[in-house]
Amino acid sequence: TIDLQWNAQEKSIHVNGQLFPLDDADETIYVVELQNNTKTVQIVPTDNLGKFTFTLLAPGTYDIILSGEQNEIAITGVELRF
């Protein structure tokens, strides 16, 4: 399960997310990539609780790709706006 929340602050948008693994014993750190028009905007790791944050984003449509050791999750067409 993935939880995404975003908020607009002044002239930028911040996205906070958290990946909840199906297995509580899974402590895999994921790399989370944010893309706009197939161009990488930001790359961040999850922390030990599966949390990640993207900051200072412009409005637009983004793809979020979470990559772990054995799998990859893609969330496409995430529209961020004020």
Summarised one tens digit per residue, pLDDT across range 25-66 is 677 889 999 999 999 999 999 998 999 999 999 999 999 999
Q: What's the burial of 3, exposed, middle or buried (CB within 10 Å: 0-12/13-18/19+)?
A: exposed
Determine the average pLDDT of the residues in 13-25: 86
Whether residue 11 has pLDDT greater than 90:
no
In angstroms, the CA 15 to CA 56 distance is: 9
Whether residue 69 has pLDDT greater than 80:
yes
Q: What is the pLDDT of residue 9?
A: 79
The model's pTM: 0.89
Q: What is the pLDDT of residue 25?
A: 62
